[in-house]
Structure 1
Amino acid sequence: MSNLVQRTITGVIFLILVIFAIAFSKISFLILFLLILIGSMYEFYTLSKKDDISPLKIYGIIVGSILFTANFLFANDLMSAKCFLPVIPLVIGVFIIELYRKADQPFTNIGFTILGLLYIAVPLSLANYIVIDNQVAYNPNLLLGFFFLMWSYDTLAYVFGISFGKHRLFERISPKKSWEGFIGGTLSSLIIAYVVSLLFNELRFIDWAIVAIIISVAGTFGDLVESSFKRSVDEKDSGKILPGHGGVLDRFDAVFIALPMFYVYLQLVQ
């Protein structure tokens, strides 16, 4: 089976599962994003260990999960802002635990443990405020629109890059990415933005078009950031759980940069 066929089959199945989980209920949304967070942080910490760095893998994942859950409870008006208080001593705990590990690179270990939280847990936590409207009701439309545009750009940029790619976008980091793929994916996602505006009228077409451009640019940088990290530890993929795509981190690397930018834009226009 070719990589393109594998990538397509995996992508379609994964797309259906993600759409269902986001659209079904706030609980299925919570479960889905916790699984994404756990899988991504696990792969991130595992990759860093290949460079003789030893972050607090399990501890970091637990803190990240608590941080996301606290944001979920606060966004849904189930708890006050006091639900964030446990996160403070837990983060301080990273420094204290490292004192007793007798590791060769304690500062590096601390840095990578906290980086996993900042790079993965914090961006994903913002999704809680995107799916909750002003009446504290669960409304997945904006997040669904975001993912439709994200996946459309990712797929079409891949197709345009395979078909017409000649000029490298960032050869030092990702030799396969091309300007043709980026431009083709961006222009195509603007067309998809019109369809998204018909499906999810919470935003106007012009807003969805701007979001499409934000996703194209920020998502590309997100992919390049993860590629640079993998290249530094001499790895092609972050994992093997998703045939044709690699790991969970590979599938959501663009989201970690694009989702915060989407959140910022929503705060400006709503």
Structure 2
Amino acid sequence: MGQAEQAPASRARARGSKPRSNPTPKAGRNLPAAIVVGLAMLIGVLGGLIFLPLGFVAVTTGFAVFGVWEIFRALEANGTRMPIIPVMVGTVAMPFAAYFGGLESLLFALLLSCVAVLLWRSVESPVGSANSIFAGVFALGWVPFFISFATLPLHTAGVMPALGLYPGGTVPAGAWQVAVMLLLVVSNDTFGYLVGASLGKHPMAPKISPKKSWEGFAGSVAGAMVIGVLACIFLLDRPWWVGVILALGTVAASTAGDLAESMVKRELGIKDMSSILPGHGGVMDRLDSIVFASPVAFVLFAVVSGA
């Protein structure tokens, strides 16, 4: 049996070639699948954002639901059972609360969701209740609350049509702001991956995410700055330096979100949250950057609104 297994390798060496293998890309992704899935998601999200805002809110909520479900499954596998029903209700409520009611409604929905988690868990067994409550509140704050900041600019722009269509067919500034934020997140991932995969030698956080390098981070900053400047000039009608500020803030937030999720996955002992998205892993493996970038971009747009 051992000689039969070694024979193909021996014949391969005799022909001067190496045995066939299936190497993993340096950055750990199936690049063609990642590009196809990423472009499909981007086109769908931007299309809904520009032409059907209520559809964009629904898609955002759907991503949040899948992300929270992945967190629930990962925590359950490690012995922590999150009160999924009140958490899911809050996950669905928060993006729509932000869209229809603004920041105050979003904060109120978060508060009610956390109280619901506490009350729901209080009627169950006290065993593991503290971890369960903390997990529920953590999931609510990490995913639906943060990602709801992507729907807030639509309310800020005064766009809450009942049927989801923009009145008069005019896309408001708030929708373009969200679109630019998404483009900056995508450029952060894309340029960071391309530069990191080819030139990355110095890891940023080797104990958390060994494949994330300083070279890749520099590529993310440079690429996002180019996209940010072009977006401010051609889409937002803002000074070019606003694009630089938005790019720096978005890249910093996206990188922090990526590292935060990597830290959670390392603590849970998993590589990906799931395998639902080919080339990407789970939904949370794609949302990790967006959930941190959304509130940061919202604040930055508010700060530079007078520029």
**Fold in common (TM above 0.5):** yes
1:42 to 57, 64, 69: 69
The residue number in structure 1 matching 2:267 is: 232
When residues 55 and 133 of structure 1 are mapped into structure 2, their CA distance, relative to the original with a 3 A threshold, is closer
Gaps of 5+ in 2: 1-21, 161-165, 167-171
**Larger radius of gyration, structure 1 or 2?**
2
What are the superposed Cα offsets for residues 62-81 of structure 1, whole Å, 9 maximum, x if unpaired? 112112222221139xxxx6
Kept in 1, the 8 Å contact 2:76–2:82? The answer is yes
Per the alignment, in what secondary structure is the counterpart of residue 238 of structure 2? coil
Q: Does 1:108 align with 2:131?
A: yes
For residues 85 and 141 of structure 1, what CA distance do their matches in structure 2 show? 26
3-state SS in 2 of match to 1:186: helix
Residue 198 of structure 2 is matched in structure 1 by 163
**Quick one: distance in 2 between partners of 1:182 and 1:73?**
36
Partner amino acid, structure 1, of 2:125:
K
Letter in 2 for 1:57: I
1:122, CA displacement in angstroms?
1.2
Q: Which amino acid aligns with 2:258?
A: D
Instruction: Give the structure 2 partner of residue 123 of structure 1.
Output: 146
Which one is further off, 125-134 or 215-224? 125-134
Quote how far apart the aligned CAs of 1:35 are.
0.6
8 Å CA contact 1:131, 1:142 repeated in 2 = no
Cα distance in 1 between the residues matched to 2:109 and 2:221: 42
2:280 and 2:44 mapped to 1: Cα distance? 16
TM-score by length of 2: 0.80
Counterparts in 2 of 1:86-101, with a 5 A limit?
88-101=111-124
Letter in 2 for 1:144: A
State the alpha-carbon separation in 1 of the partners of residues 33 and 72 from structure 2: 26
User: Once superposed, what is the RMSD of the aligned Cα atoms?
Assistant: 2.2
Q: Where in structure 1 are there 5+ consecutive unaligned residues?
A: none
Aligned residue number for residue 204 of structure 1: 239
CA distance 1:97–1:33, change in 2 (3 Å): same
> Using a 3 Å threshold, how does the CA distance of structure 1 residues 8 and 90 change in structure 2: closer, same or farther?
closer
How far apart are the structure 2 equivalents of 1:189 and 1:96? Answer: 44
Moved more, 167-176 or 52-61: 52-61
Aligned pair count?
266
Matched with 2:99 is 72
- Distance in 1 between residues matched to 2:204 and 2:113, nearest whole Å: 40
Q: After TM superposition, give the deviation of residue 32 of structure 1 in Å.
A: 1.0
Please show how residues 3-22 of structure 1 align to structure 2 within 5 Å: 3-22=30-49
Alpha carbons of 1:22 and 1:97: their partners in 2 closer, same or farther (altered >3 Å)? same
CA deviation after TM superposition for structure 1 residue 133, in Å:
4.5
CA distance in 2, matches of 1:250, 1:163: 22
Within 1, Cα distance between the matches of 2:229 and 2:54?
A: 30
1:137-176 matches, within 5 Å, as 139=172, 140-176=175-211
- Residue of structure 1 equivalent to 2:6: none
Aligned mates of 1:95, 1:64 — CA distance in 2: 15
Aligned letter for 2:177? L
Does residue 219 in structure 1 map to residue 242 in structure 2?
A: no
Deviation (angstroms), 1:131: 2.6
Q: 1:203 & 1:237 partners in 2: Cα distance?
A: 38
Structure-2 change in CA distance of 1:109 and 1:165 (3 Å): same
Match for residue 247 of structure 1 among 282, 288, 300: 282
Distance 1:121 1:202, change over 3 A: farther
Shift of 1:59: 2.2
CA apart distance, 1:184? 1.4
Contact 2:86 / 2:116 at 8 angstroms: preserved in 1?
no
Q: TM-score, normalised by structure 1?
A: 0.91
Which residue matches 2:78? 51
What does the per-residue CA deviation read over 1:149-204, in whole Å, with 9 as the maximum and x for residues that have no partner?
A: 11011111001000000001100000101000000121122112222123312533
Q: Given that residues 253 and 296 in structure 2 are in contact (C-alpha distance below 8 angstroms), is that contact kept between their aligned partners in structure 1?
A: yes
Q: 1:7-54: CA deviations, max 9, x gaps?
A: 111112122111112111221112111111111111122212122111
Q: Is the 8 A contact 2:273 2:281 kept in 1?
A: yes
In structure 2, the CA distance between the partners of 1:84 and 1:230, relative to structure 1 (3 Å rule), is closer
Call closer, same or farther: CA 1:230–1:262 in 2, change over 3 Å. same
1:263 lines up with 2:298 in the alignment: yes
